[in-house]
Amino acid sequence: MNIAGETRAHRASMHAQLAVLARHSWLVANARLAVFVAAAGLGVAALLGKVGPWAPYGVAAGALAYVALIFLHRSVDDRERRGRAAVAYDDRLLARASGTWQKAPRDGKGYAPATHPYARDLDIFGHASLFQLLNETPTRSGEERLAAWLAAPADIATILTRQRAVKALAPRLGFRRELSVAAAADGDDKVDPSALARWATDSSVSLASIAWARWLPFVVVPITLLAYLASREGWVPRLVPIIAFAAQLVIAGAVRGPLGRFFTSIAAADRSLDRLRRTFARLEAESFDEPHLQGLWRGGSGAVPASRALRKLDFWYSFAEARRSQLGPVFNVLLLWDLVMLFRIARWRDRFGVQIPVWVSGLAEVEALCALAGFAAERHTAVFPEIEAHESMVTARDIAHPLLDAPVANDVDIRGNGHALLLTGSNMSGKSTLLRALGVNVVLALAGAPVIASSMRVAVLRLATSMRVEDSLERGVSFFYAEVQRLKLVLDLAREHAGTCMFLLDELLLGTNTRERQIASREIVGRLLETGAIGVITTHDLDLTTLEAETQGRVVNAHFRDLLAEGRMAFDYKLRPGIVDTTNALKVLELAGIPVRSPA
């Protein structure tokens, strides 16, 4: 499937449709203006007696035509909005295909705390991160679900379930695009279904305190109207309709507070209603054979589909919004409008409220699965890993970094509790990149996504890293102490998840002298292996390579090599067994214009 080619064709088609819609919008807008001017002119002429008795009918017809044109204009505007959202979706897909996806909005920077065991070191969140690459979720709830999957591993059953669902969704580019478009808003703002879910389950805001007033509009308003008509015929004194109307004013005043609070609570969630309804409708229109998706797409709605239920809520809310208009107080006084409409909404919540969190959760799950499916479809080198149930291990062939445009692939093999790789090599030779490539692919695998490799087997592991340690003047923390704090976090996690932890350590304890660094590094590696953890360590301390013999092969040496060609440093970034036999620090200094004399 040529995804990029299909996307370019779809994008061109949408641009053509937008051009047509722009002309339609211009025509409808001018027609509205013309109808308004004509109806207003006819009304003025009628008041001045310049036209015949048919004028009121003409004004009424003009008013109806004006209202019809308003709805038509809204329909055209909505189609334009969805067209722009479709183009934006295609633009993001093409940006990922061309390697310029780093400008995509919403990079998830705030989703992981500074103490997260691996997110910062592996670029899981933030600018140019894994989350930014994957995040094609149309709602805030879907975005949060995707972030949660990347921030912690799932269990084996959940991973395998997600894999099957992602495989089913990967070929459905049209569905993924249309789902995103249905929920899309202008700009980068996202629908937040959780606001609706909170309202639906918030028992602190209700109309229970004024339940006595529920049926009064259907009794008092007709009595007032009949009293008024009867008084005009002289059947009852004129004071009777006045008393009845005064009773309506008293009722409206008595229920004003609870009604106002209830309306405010639903108003906070109303922005998402129409888009959520469209999103659920698109989800319900799709047919799936995969069991997990079959359970999710129905949204847990039972007998009434989620989209239909939300259409009802949107319908009643649109009438309740009249209280915000200039004529709202008039409607409320004459018809007790707020009581009628808000009790309708309260009755809807009594029926469907408990289901909304289920709908929202199901939608978030589908969105996160679609984000992983997009990655699976767009990366032709991606494969789904095997999940190992009985042995702590990571073994991969041709594993490469998902965030790099032209990564070099390598093989990695770590099997059995208490085993590790010790990587040596020159500066810039690829040690840190391999650590990150391994770590990011493990995160993908344990989220249920495919990985960038020709094959991979991995156990469900708790990942912990120490790679990008920084000091802090504000907190008064030195670089060395920051390293120690980070390593303490890694050790604590390894002890807490004994036998199911994976560590990635880049250049241990750079903040101290060579002798103490070597002693402490051996101790730290030993303690980690004692917990049954597996992992990878990079180092420039070649003395640490004796760990292979000292641990009877549980620590395995491997290295990256550098080459000097025509006065320039060159690297092939290929991992090789054994210990590096070249160094390049002095040569790098010399090439940078800082020659260092070798000792005699």
Contact 555, 547 (CB under 8 A): yes
**Rounded Cα–Cα distance for residues 416 and 436 (Å):** 21
**Rounded Cα–Cα distance for residues 140 and 190 (Å):** 6
Helix (H) or strand (E) holding 282: helix 273-285
What is the average per-residue pLDDT within 484-498?
93
Contact 512, 520 (CB under 8 A): yes
Q: What is the pTM of this model?
A: 0.88
Report residue 388's pLDDT band, with 50, 70 and 90 as the boundaries.
very high
CATH 2.160.20.10 applies to domain 382-591: no
Helix (H) or strand (E) holding 147: helix 140-151
With a cut of 90, say whether residue 540 has pLDDT above it: no
pLDDT of residue 478: 73
With a cut of 80, say whether residue 454 has pLDDT above it: yes
Report residue 563's pLDDT band, with 50, 70 and 90 as the boundaries.
confident
Characterize the bridge pairing of strands 501-506 and 534-538.
parallel
* Among 29-38, 117-126, 212-221, the range of highest mean pLDDT: 117-126
Residue with the bigger pLDDT between 61 and 150: it is 150
Q: Which residues contact 52 (CB under 8 A, 6 or more apart)?
A: none
pLDDT of residue 474: 47
579 to each of 108, 295, 432, 556, how far by Cα in Å?
39, 53, 16, 10
Per DSSP, the three-state class of 254 is helix
Asked which of 121-135, 300-314, 338-352 is least confident by mean pLDDT, the reply is 300-314
Per DSSP, the three-state class of 99 is coil
**Rounded Cα–Cα distance for residues 299 and 308 (Å):** 12
Model confidence pLDDT, tens digit, residues 63-85: 888 888 888 988 898 889 889 99
**Rounded Cα–Cα distance for residues 421 and 412 (Å):** 9
Per DSSP, the three-state class of 53 is coil
Q: Which residues contact 334 (CB under 8 A, 6 or more apart)?
A: 221, 248
| Structure tokens that stand for 7 in this block | 């996307």
Q: Residue 287 — φ and ψ, nearest 5°?
A: -105, 130
What is the average per-residue pLDDT within 59-65?
86
2 to each of 6, 251, 381, how far by Cα in Å?
6, 66, 14
Q: Which residues contact 456 (CB under 8 A, 6 or more apart)?
A: 383, 385, 386, 394, 395, 396, 397, 399, 441, 445
With a cut of 90, say whether residue 385 has pLDDT above it: yes
**Rounded Cα–Cα distance for residues 351 and 346 (Å):** 9
With a cut of 70, say whether residue 476 has pLDDT above it: no
pLDDT of residue 523: 92
CB atoms within 10 A of CB 520: 16
DSSP secondary structure string, 329-362?
HHHHHHH-HHHHHHHHHHHHHHHHGGGHHHHHHH
